[in-house]
Chains A and B, each alone.
Chain A
Amino acid sequence: MLKVSEIEVRYSGIPIIHNVSLVVNDGELVTVVGANGAGKSTLLKTIAGALRTSKGTIHFGNEEIQGLSTPEIVRKGITYVPEARLIFGPLTVEENLEIGAYIVNDAAQKKSNLDFVYHLFPRLADRKKQLGGTLSGGEQQMLAIGRGLMSNPKLLMLDEPSLGLMPKLVDEMLGAVAKLRGTGKTILLVEQNVRESLELADRGYVLQTGRTILEGTGAELLNTESIRKAFLGL
């Protein structure tokens, strides 16, 4: 479905991503793990069209998509869920979700997307008239994911959904991701919680200073000596 081949991304001239390749197949949950500053968010933003590649290609289906704008990429079926800070605080939960469905023109489809989101996150349904900015951190993150789902994406990219949440909520959030995967969604997940996300994922990539240094199934990576040392403290 998604194929990133040897891309380089520069940020005001300085390469942040040196050489990253990854593949996401239909129906897979793929995770990219790595320390802070490894270039995980940069990678997702580049796929989303918010940043430009200076080398390499990105294919979605059979189409080259690097160079397309973000709105065009959303219309191709890739939705990027940014950190929870980027929800629309002064708008209600339902308005946030409605705007998430901006590219969906079919009212019935919109309705079924909304039902899907409320089913996945019942707490959002309870708070649909509440302003986004007044939600708790965990709820805001749910809203960010729900808003992303409203566009009915073929590929959903999650940028650290557990960031800044307390441990109990981290489990809940990653549980929701697992539930989402159960519905057949294809997901590319970027996480700092290495163990939890590798346990969850079909496959994983380890990113270090802008390079993919390891790849494998979640279980394989969890048993790799260097990962156990570097990330899991074992």
Chain B
Amino acid sequence: MAIYTKEEARQIMEKALSFSTADATTINLGGSESGNIRYARNTVSTSGHRSNQSLSVTASFGKQSGSATIDEFDDASLEKVVKIAEELAKLAPVNPEFMAPLGPQRYDDDITFVEATANITPEYRAKVAAASIEPASEKDVTAAGFLNDSSRFRSTLNSNGLFAYNKSTDSDFTVTMRTNDGTGSGWVSRDFNDITKFDPAEAAKVAIDKAVLSREARAIEPGKYTVILEPAASVDLLRNMSGSFNARTADEGRSFMSKDGGTKLGQKIVDERVNIYSDPLHPDVPTSTWNGEGMPLKKTSWIENGVVKNLAYDRYWAGQKGMEAVPFPSNFIMEGGSATLQDLIKSTKKGILVTRLWYIRGVDPQTLLYTGLTRDGTFYIENGEIRYPVKNFRFNESPIIMLNNLEELGQQVRIDGNLIPFMKVRDFTFTSLSDAV
């Protein structure tokens, strides 16, 4: 079994630490069990099971550090891995940015592990696939989907007295439904820490309905449109934007967040209704309460009323700048409103509903301009109603421009470990048409 309890993990790491002679030593122990099923053409294709565990040791003498990893935890192996790390440290170049390991920290209790998810069986996965394939066959639609579930733990202990442990479960499901005439495609994504919240039949229905509704899409001219972005459509642009919250690259002058020899910290960059924060204890999107180097993760505001509230400082850079270290977020929560998707459609005179965006790549890091395409359900809205499906578009747009052109925020949905609202945005830039279905 690759999942150790807190006490089992502590015992193994304390044993390893007992062999250390370095100035500072950090032990990391982790393991995971994961299973998946993949299906396509209304039948199963590949599936598998993986199990992993490893223990790594980072030893430091002065500002020289070395790391070694092992996957056997008997005393002789633990002693060997510590010795290897220490030998490597003595040979390593001096790291001028070396930071001594943190001392003891206080962490909030996490809420990331759910027994039911850890107990998923191959038979359950096959049933999930069947819950897509059977209704698809009935509607002249073909299903291709994937379910992956995992349980994992990670733990860290160091010679300065720090100890941290986290156990978590995850499940990710996506399915694409394509009509058999090749003219319609729908998609849905669901992810949970707790698999009992997952309704495979409900998810399959959403994708099938979109596939059927999106058949025989019409071509309309590319240009600037009001769009309603489902959370799956905006999440990647928002996540890409979050990458620019790195204080160091901002200070160095090579980021969207750089400005006039300094940064945009404290400046308004988007509409004042935009509030974005991270929170490891949010019940819908819980994460570990500590990061890779053992820093406690707390609820942190990144954008408040459109103003940049925090930039992420690693410990070294914080020291250089005389700032408090601010760890990178482990999830991304954007506050929404009370409007449902239907409400947003109803209040739209003319616009485009976008299910998701695909193949998003950066075009200009200076302006956070990204390109990509709509996919799996793009619809034209007129006078408060979905009128007909439209062909997919390529967009060239910056999340900064998008959040400045905000019209209305709707309800939040969990997507890929984050919480994102439906949003209506004006003047979203579509630059060309695609024939892809």
A binds B: no
Point out residues on A near B: beta carbons under 8 Å: none
